[in-house]
Structure 1
Amino acid sequence: MPERRVTVASKVGLHARPAALVAKAAAEQPVQVSIAKDGGPPVPAGSMLNLMTLAAAHGDEVVISAEGEGAQAAVDAIADLVASDLDA
């Protein structure tokens, strides 16, 4: 199962606008993408509410994973998004 560790770049963390953008992108992937923080249980990344319950702040490390055909591309797409500044 492909996974990638990334640091949350948005100054507000995965909250509000950044969470909405990540959830939308994850929901558009051909496979279910999961995200976990601090070794906690993974949650579906396609849900803004799930992302906000992670309480992932700026500078926190999260693990993004997926399984199935196209999983690596999905993980890379979401990881790149989380690692970018989505506050603008």
Structure 2
Amino acid sequence: MPERTVTIASRTGLHARPAKLFVQAAQAQGVPVRIRVGDGRPAPATSMLAVLALGAVQGTEVTLTADDGPGAEAALDSLAALLARDLDAEQASGA
């Protein structure tokens, strides 16, 4: 089972806009992806409520996992790269 560990870069963590962007990106991947904080229970990355419930703030390490199969590695790479960006700063600068 492929996985990636990434540190949340957004100033507000996985809350509000960054969480929405992450969930939308996860929904577009075409493979089931789960996200967890530490040793916690994995949550579906496509569920806004589940992602918000993680309480992941800036600097929190999260682990993304996907079932083995076509597109799994690329999906995790894409989502990990998204979380590693400060989406709040990009919004403020108009990027």
Query: TM-score, length-normalised on structure 1?
Result: 0.96
Alignment match, 1:55? 55
One-letter code of the match for 1:80? A
Query: TM-score, length-normalised on structure 2?
Result: 0.90
Task: Give structure 2 stretches of 5+ with no counterpart.
Answer: none
Q: Note the C-alpha offset of 1:47.
A: 1.3
RMSD of aligned alpha carbons = 0.7
Q: Note the C-alpha offset of 1:36.
A: 0.3
The whole-number CA distance in structure 1 between the counterparts of 2:87 and 2:65 is 20
Task: Give structure 1 stretches of 5+ with no counterpart.
Answer: none
- SS of 2:5 mapped into structure 1: strand
- Structure 1 segments of 4+ aligned residues over 4 angstroms from their partners: none
Structure with more of its chain in helix, by fraction: 2
Q: Note the C-alpha offset of 1:48.
A: 1.3
